[in-house]
Structure 1
Amino acid sequence: MVRNIQLRTTLLEESVDDILKKKASKYLGIPMEEISKVSILRKSIDARKSTIYFNYKVSVYINEPAPKNKEYKFDYKDVSKARKIHIIGFGPAGMYAALRCIELGYRPIVLERGKNVKDRRRDLKAINRDHIVNEDSNYCFGEGGAGTYSDGKLYTRSLKRGDVRRIFENLVFHGATEQILIDAHPHIGTNKLPKLVQNIRETIIKYGGEIHFQTKVVDFNIVNNAIKAIVLQDGSEMQAERVILATGHSARDIYYLLNNKNIALQAKSFAMGVRVEHPQHIIDSIQYHCKGQRNELLPAASYSLVEQVKDRGVYSFCMCPGGFIVPAATAPGEVVVNGMSPSKRNNLFANSGIVVEINVDLDIHKYGHHGALKGLEYQKDLERLAFTSGGRTQTAPAQRLTDFVEGKLSNDLNPTSYQPGLKSAPLHSLLPKLIGSRLRSGFTAFGEKMKGYYTAEANVVGVESRTSSPVNIPRNENLEHPEIKGLFPCGEGGGYAGGIVSAAMDGERCAEAAVAGF
């Protein structure tokens, strides 16, 4: 017999041997000897009150053999001689589109402007140490996309877009720990993601797919409103019938290309703001109601905050406990910040984007002449402003949190995880009122919700601008562009995803749609 039940343990109980078996025995009213195994299905932490609990959903195996460890298998086929599907971009959407093509018996031809994970590291070092931005190889572009050098957060609310469990199991198949199948808010960690991404690449090549790095797409050959060929930067062409466009939300050249070819695009609402960085122990003390160091059984604490300010949402985004702030610029002359965490989340700082909703129809009228690209141009202006106010390098403009809210230039700044460094700047006056005034009110409200959050020990760093695409590439019910046959906009770059998992699910869906058209 197998029974699925809910259990909870306290911090003290969590360190007791066989605690879940003991709890299950008591809950079910049976001797422990009758329980062959307690298998954890789900685990979460409830820290809302002073007594912290671990909540478990478990399967209890009673008087029957415990199941063997599950093997995760996928029906990958030899597609070396199969019909081709071209995929532009090798981030989560492109990777999962390629894997799904192989399952369906089609040969993915992946074109990635950036480098593989090993070679990409040198360019990340250059932007951190030397402030040199390689426009094709950076924290956004390269093997695995922006997801490779991120926290690897896998939590998603997009449960209706695809099979989340399948996405997770495929990550386990390629090297992720099975813990991601259990945790309520799973993550992989930036230190482990590169190897996992490399394993996915090797699977694609093993079964006959192709991956071309440092291969930038600069044009499409379109005849009678249908894709006929992809034009590469070296002037060569690849004949193509089906193209999955999975270029990510920072591939601005693709938006310009489509716009210049009068291919339909739409402006899309998005969010922008700053990244706030606290010492991790402050967030731990707030969330875990503790003084000093948190209990070793507890992970670095995170938070999720939202407030309505003047009819716009102000909210936390991509919160990275025990993490780093990183330079996410994709071109010279701009400063963009993002966050990432290692798997252990054991850095001294916690950082999170704090952003304001931007309604492209109501909030940025003076950019209206840019049409579908008005949100993109607004983004670019703020990134150039951050570059100038930071000192015209990858040094980022920053203030102490309390000074930002009170409208004062900071005389000095707190220590930071941001390697290129910070420069004191009046972000409170540099940011547009649309964003700055709402952020100041939002931070004040967050300080009321989390006592201790509003502190001079935190830095506000600008700008957090790449939360999502400010452009939507439309598609019809078959996931194909309504004007261009054979073009399938996909993932975050198309405006159809908001993270690793939702992008992966959209990649699978686009692969299914692309092959269905043959």
Structure 2
Amino acid sequence: MKKTFTLQLSPKEAYDPEIFKQVVLKKAGLKSDEKDCSVRQIKRSIDARGRNVKVNVEAELFFHEPPTPRFDPPTKYQSVKNSDPIIIVGAGPAGLFAALRAIELGVKPIVIERGKDVQSRRRDLAAINKDHFVNPDSNYCFGEGGAGTYSDGKLYTRSKKRGDVRRIMEILVAHGATEEILVDAHPHIGTNKLPVLVTKLRESILDAGGEVLFDTRVEDFVIEENELKGVVTQDGEKIHGLGVILATGHSARDIFELLHAKNVLIEAKPFALGVRIEHSQNLIDQIQYHCEVDRGPYLPASSYSLVQQTQFKGKQRGVFSFCMCPGGFIVPAATSPGELVVNGMSPSRRDSKFANSGMVVAVELEDLPQYQKYGPLAAMHFQAEIEKKAWEVGGKTQVAPAQRMMDFVNRKSSSTLLDTSYQPGLASSNMDEVLPDFIAERMRFAFKAFGQKMKGYLTNEAQLIGVESRTSSPVRVPRDRESFEHPELKRLYPCGEGAGYAGGIVSAAMDGERCAEKLIEAYVKA
């Protein structure tokens, strides 16, 4: 017998497995010592709107029968070693899932990644943090798994129309992610567990006869009669395929410049830019969970989501939190020497004493009149100039400019800074030296509003660390809505965050799958 229950529980009841089992048994009218039964949670979400935090749980009880599997694991991938190849540029979530989907459809993927495999990549990350040395091909953005590998590993997406979210989750579980990601309303994996998972995704590609080429940077395209037939690497090697899925991520500026130089249609795209703001996790917990001391042993580190519309010189723009990382760390995310970029990540336990979030302002193309001379690269040049300025203000290393929150609002220099999770270190700076007026003034207004929405959020016990500029791609590589193919260059399939069509691990993965399906449908003979 199987029964399903919808419950509203205390955190202790929801997160202590033994107590949870007793609650379900009592609800079912069974004895607390009943042996021939099992219980499990299938959906879980936290409701912190009231003074007492509740956890909404959908649970299953199996009585006198074994529990059914949560999902059918994918069958072993078929061999595509001798099949026609397609080329996938980039081994982030979009590229890896495009490769797996190609294998399912009987096509051989050749994945080309400018960076290193996920284990070798660690040494280059350490060099950024300790020595302030940025390898332009191997960093927090470039390398196996892309920027998503060293991130919070958030798997929540609103992009339901892009593909099957559950399918992506199940593939991740089949490659080592915990089944908890199938349960939580806002699932995450954690930066400490993602490298192992990414390695297993690559092994599935290789075991099926696909190829993954590391330390291989695309520097040119093979274009014949307005069709993209392949790519040229930094060594001059030509790699041919039936088509190219371009899944390079939002930071591959050289690819955008190459497309522009080749007269391949691209477009400037609005994006968002601002700072990372860092509070103590305990303060955010006290605000969100209404607790006086700490959140206790059962609740996870709390998060927040904030948005505020602002006016500046007659123009309305949104200011919003982005990629909030509870119990996380701020990391240096530059992709070239001479620039400074910050991002956030969290381990699976989210047990750092810090909470950080991007706090960014929407940037429209009309905000950048002096950059219009760069055409479709206008927003990219603006982004790059701000990152260079942050590097200069911080001292021309990976030390980041920082300012306490109330000091920034009050236009006051910070005589001291707070402890931080950002390893390269902070330099007390006036963030107005880094941020343009139209961004800084909007942030000041929004911070005051956020302080009203979350009492205690606006405080000098928080600090701004700059700059958060890689929120999304400043360039869009256009594609047809139905075919996903570039409207002018045949056999080119722009994909994922870098092309402007996704915003996170899951949406990028789904986009990768659909690009593979569309390319194969169009150019692989049945």
Which bracket does the TM-score occupy, shorter chain normalised? over 0.9
Deviation at 1:224, TM superposition (A): 1.1
Q: SS in structure 2 opposite 1:463?
A: strand
Q: Which residue of 1 aligns with 2:521?
A: 516
The AA in structure 2 aligned to 1:124 is L
Q: Is 1:377 aligned to 2:381, yes or no?
A: yes
Q: SS in structure 2 opposite 1:439?
A: helix
Q: SS in structure 1 opposite 2:367?
A: coil
CA–CA separation in structure 2 for the residues paired with 1:16 and 1:279: 26
Alignment length (residue pairs): 517
CA–CA separation in structure 2 for the residues paired with 1:325 and 1:136: 21
Taking a change above 3 Å as real, the CA distance of residues 339 and 14 of structure 1, as seen in their structure-2 partners, is same
Q: SS in structure 1 opposite 2:228?
A: strand
Q: Which residue of 2 aligns with 1:486?
A: 491
Q: Which residue of 1 aligns with 2:408?
A: 404
Q: Which residue of 2 aligns with 1:118?
A: 119
Deviation at 1:62, TM superposition (A): 4.9
Deviation at 1:240, TM superposition (A): 2.4
CA–CA separation in structure 2 for the residues paired with 1:452 and 1:490: 41
1:306-359 per-position Cα deviation (integer Å, ceiling 9, x unaligned): 111112111100000111100000011100000001111111110000001111
The AA in structure 2 aligned to 1:395 is V
Q: Which residue of 1 aligns with 2:425?
A: 421
CA–CA separation in structure 1 for the residues paired with 2:45 and 2:108: 40
Within a 5 Å distance, the mapping from 1:118-137 to structure 2 comes to: 118-137=119-138
Q: Is 1:460 aligned to 2:464, yes or no?
A: yes
Taking a change above 3 Å as real, the CA distance of residues 427 and 200 of structure 1, as seen in their structure-2 partners, is same
Q: Which residue of 2 aligns with 1:358?
A: 363
CA–CA separation in structure 1 for the residues paired with 2:72 and 2:103: 20
Taking a change above 3 Å as real, the CA distance of residues 130 and 65 of structure 1, as seen in their structure-2 partners, is closer
Q: Which residue of 1 aligns with 2:444?
A: 440
* % identity of equivalent residues: 57
Q: Which residue of 2 aligns with 1:386?
A: 390
CA RMSD of aligned residues (A): 1.7
Q: Which residue of 1 aligns with 2:501?
A: 496
Q: Which residue of 2 aligns with 1:56?
A: 57
Q: Is 1:169 aligned to 2:170, yes or no?
A: yes
Within a 5 Å distance, the mapping from 1:200-349 to structure 2 comes to: 200-310=201-311, 311-349=316-354
CA–CA separation in structure 2 for the residues paired with 1:13 and 1:237: 60
1:403-445 per-position Cα deviation (integer Å, ceiling 9, x unaligned): 1111111111111110111101110353111110011111111
CA–CA separation in structure 1 for the residues paired with 2:206 and 2:459: 51
Q: Is 1:10 aligned to 2:26, yes or no?
A: no
Task: State which drifts further: 444-453 or 52-61.
Answer: 52-61
Taking a change above 3 Å as real, the CA distance of residues 382 and 16 of structure 1, as seen in their structure-2 partners, is closer
CA–CA separation in structure 1 for the residues paired with 2:270 and 2:373: 16
Task: Normalising by structure 2, report the TM-score.
Answer: 0.95
**Residue pair 1:25, 1:35 contacting (<8 A) in 2 also:** no
Q: Which residue of 1 aligns with 2:43?
A: 42
Task: State which drifts further: 111-120 or 58-67.
Answer: 58-67
CA–CA separation in structure 1 for the residues paired with 2:70 and 2:167: 17
**Residue pair 1:405, 1:428 contacting (<8 A) in 2 also:** no
Task: Normalising by structure 1, report the TM-score.
Answer: 0.97
**Residue pair 1:188, 1:343 contacting (<8 A) in 2 also:** yes
Deviation at 1:22, TM superposition (A): 4.5
**Residue pair 2:12, 2:298 contacting (<8 A) in 1 also:** no
Deviation at 1:124, TM superposition (A): 0.5
Taking a change above 3 Å as real, the CA distance of residues 199 and 66 of structure 1, as seen in their structure-2 partners, is closer
CA–CA separation in structure 1 for the residues paired with 2:21 and 2:102: 43
CA–CA separation in structure 2 for the residues paired with 1:356 and 1:108: 38
The AA in structure 2 aligned to 1:143 is E
The AA in structure 1 aligned to 2:390 is A
1:132-190 per-position Cα deviation (integer Å, ceiling 9, x unaligned): 11000000000000011111010100011101011001111111111111111111111
Task: State which drifts further: 423-432 or 441-450.
Answer: 423-432
1:283-317 per-position Cα deviation (integer Å, ceiling 9, x unaligned): 11111111223211011111111111112111100
Q: SS in structure 1 opposite 2:381?
A: helix
Taking a change above 3 Å as real, the CA distance of residues 450 and 213 of structure 1, as seen in their structure-2 partners, is same
Q: SS in structure 1 opposite 2:245?
A: strand
The AA in structure 2 aligned to 1:7 is L
Task: State which drifts further: 21-30 or 368-377.
Answer: 21-30
Deviation at 1:15, TM superposition (A): 6.7
Q: Which residue of 2 aligns with 1:139?
A: 140
1:378-404 per-position Cα deviation (integer Å, ceiling 9, x unaligned): 101110110110001111111001111
The AA in structure 1 aligned to 2:140 is Y
**Residue pair 1:7, 1:20 contacting (<8 A) in 2 also:** no
Deviation at 1:280, TM superposition (A): 1.0
CA–CA separation in structure 1 for the residues paired with 2:35 and 2:133: 63
CA–CA separation in structure 2 for the residues paired with 1:402 and 1:383: 23
**Residue pair 1:2, 1:60 contacting (<8 A) in 2 also:** yes
**Residue pair 2:84, 2:242 contacting (<8 A) in 1 also:** no
CA–CA separation in structure 2 for the residues paired with 1:102 and 1:83: 11
Q: SS in structure 2 opposite 1:160?
A: helix
CA–CA separation in structure 2 for the residues paired with 1:15 and 1:377: 48
Q: SS in structure 1 opposite 2:465?
A: strand
The AA in structure 2 aligned to 1:189 is G
**Residue pair 1:407, 1:429 contacting (<8 A) in 2 also:** no
**Residue pair 1:34, 1:63 contacting (<8 A) in 2 also:** no
CA–CA separation in structure 2 for the residues paired with 1:124 and 1:235: 28
CA–CA separation in structure 2 for the residues paired with 1:369 and 1:487: 27
Q: Is 1:157 aligned to 2:158, yes or no?
A: yes
1:185-210 per-position Cα deviation (integer Å, ceiling 9, x unaligned): 11111111111111111111111000
Taking a change above 3 Å as real, the CA distance of residues 150 and 12 of structure 1, as seen in their structure-2 partners, is closer
Deviation at 1:73, TM superposition (A): 1.8
Q: For structure 1, which runs of at least 5 residues remain unmatched after alignment? A: none
CA–CA separation in structure 1 for the residues paired with 2:159 and 2:10: 31
Q: SS in structure 1 opposite 2:109?
A: strand
1:16-50 per-position Cα deviation (integer Å, ceiling 9, x unaligned): 76544544455556767598333311111111122
**Residue pair 1:7, 1:23 contacting (<8 A) in 2 also:** no
Q: SS in structure 1 opposite 2:380?
A: helix
Task: State which drifts further: 371-380 or 18-27.
Answer: 18-27
Q: Is 1:474 aligned to 2:478, yes or no?
A: yes
CA–CA separation in structure 1 for the residues paired with 2:213 and 2:134: 22
The AA in structure 1 aligned to 2:2 is V
**Residue pair 2:393, 2:433 contacting (<8 A) in 1 also:** no
